[in-house]
Structure 1
Amino acid sequence: MTVRQPRYSKEEFTRRGDQLYETQVRPQVEEGNHGKIVAIDIETGAFEVADEILTATDRLFERLPDAQPWIVRIGHRAVHRFGARSLRNPV
């Protein structure tokens, strides 16, 4: 297994990923893919859409072995939900 080293600070990585998603990728993938995962190479803008993170990133690495992937769940603010969810019904 190849160990990929990040080439950008966390802040730059985030900035590039968010910018590519909002300006280039989102308009192409949003319709009909709600809840799916998109893996975006922050250097080239190439991307792959799949149901699972590993599938999307594996496909991206097949195309671009040196990719720096940014992961987004389409139509959500975060890829995963952390913490407990209230089971109480709102009144």
Structure 2
Amino acid sequence: MTVRQPRYSKEEFARRGDEIYESQVRPQVEEGNHGRIVAIDIETGAFEIGKNSITASDLLLAHHPDAQIWFVRIGHLAVHRIGYFEAG
């Protein structure tokens, strides 16, 4: 298994990922996919949706093996939640 090295700073990675999601990906995926994960290649704009980040990244890497992947949980501010949350 090859270890992928980031080619961008954390700030540039996030900027590219957010920009691609908002301008290209979000309009295509938001409806009907709330809570699912989208994996985006920040270099090509290619993306895949999965029930979790592993599934989404596996699907994307199958088509783009050198992808620089940015994750977004559709309809949420963050991909993962840390800590305890009680709804109600």
Alignment map for 1:5-24 (pairs within 5 Å): 5-24=5-24
Supply the distance in 1 between the matched residues of 2:52 and 2:70 (Cα, whole angstroms). 14
Q: Measure how far apart 1:84 and its partner are.
A: 2.5
C-alpha deviation, 1:41, in angstroms? 0.1
Between the aligned residues of both structures, percent identity stands at 70
Residue in 1 that maps onto 2:27: 27
CA distance in 2, matches of 1:86, 1:61: 35
- TM-score scaled by structure 1? 0.92
Computing the radius of gyration over CA atoms, which structure comes out larger, 1 or 2?
Answer: 1
TM-score (structure 2 length as normaliser):
0.95
Question: Structure 2: which 5+ residue stretches go unaligned?
Answer: none
Runs of 4+ in 1 over 4 A off after TM superposition: none
Other-structure match for 1:43: 43
Unaligned runs of 5+ in 1: none
Q: Over the residues paired in the alignment, what is the CA RMSD in angstroms?
A: 1.2
User: How many positions carry a matched residue from both structures?
Assistant: 88
d(CA) in 1 for partners of 2:22 and 2:85? 28
